[in-house]
Amino acid sequence: MMEVLLLFFLATIIVATSNGYHVEIPYQIHLLRPQTGAGGHHVHGLSCLSWRLGVETNNIIGWTTVPQACEGYVGHYMLGHQYRKDWKVVANAACLYAQGLNLTGDGKDIWVFDVDETTLSNLPYYADHGFGAEVYNSTLFNAWVLTGKAPALPESLKLYQKLLSLGIKVVFITGRSEDQRNVTETNLKNVGFHTWKKLILKQSSESGTTAVVYKSSKRKELEAKGYRIVGNIGDQWSDLLGTHVGNRTFKAPDPMYYIS
Which tens digit of pLDDT belongs to each residue from 76-126?
A: 999 989 999 999 999 999 999 999 999 989 999 999 999 999 999 999 999
Q: Is the pLDDT of residue 19 over 50?
A: no
Half-sphere exposure of 246 (CA within 13 A, CB side): 26
Q: Are 68 and 93 in contact (CB under 8 A)?
A: no
Instruction: State the CATH class of domain 2-251.
Output: alpha beta
Separation CA 76–CA 234 (nearest Å):
22
Inter-helix orientation angle 48-56/71-79, to 10°: 70
Separation CA 203–CA 207 (nearest Å):
7
Cross-strand bridge partners of residue 109? 228
Q: Is the pLDDT of residue 52 over 90?
A: yes
In the chain, domain spans: 2-251
Question: What pLDDT, on the 0 to 100 scale, is given for residue 45?
Answer: 65
What is the DSSP-derived secondary structure letter of residue 137? -
- pLDDT bucket at 46, cuts 50 / 70 / 90: confident
CA distances from 38 to 6, 10, 76 (A): 21, 16, 16
Question: What pLDDT, on the 0 to 100 scale, is given for residue 17?
Answer: 39
Average pLDDT over residues 237-242: 98
Q: Are 114 and 174 in contact (CB under 8 A)?
A: yes
**Conformational region of residue 121, where left means phi above 0, alpha means psi within -120 to 50, and beta covers everything else:** beta
- pLDDT bucket at 44, cuts 50 / 70 / 90: low
Sheet with 249-251, edge to edge strand ranges: 198-202, 169-177, 109-113, 228-234, 249-251
Q: pTM for this structure?
A: 0.83
Q: Is the pLDDT of residue 53 over 80?
A: yes
The average confidence (pLDDT) of the chain is: 87
Average pLDDT over residues 135-156: 97
Separation CA 117–CA 107 (nearest Å):
27
Which tens digit of pLDDT belongs to each residue from 158-206?
A: 999 999 999 999 999 999 999 999 999 999 999 999 999 999 999 999 9
- Of 165, 232, 153, nearest to 192 by C-alpha is 153
Q: How far is CA 170 from the centre of its chain?
A: 18
- pLDDT bucket at 54, cuts 50 / 70 / 90: very high
Number of H helices, E strands in the chain: 9, 5
Question: What pLDDT, on the 0 to 100 scale, is given for residue 15?
Answer: 39
Separation CA 211–CA 202 (nearest Å):
10
pLDDT, greater one: 199 or 14:
199
Separation CA 39–CA 237 (nearest Å):
33
Judged by DSSP in three states, 202 sits in strand
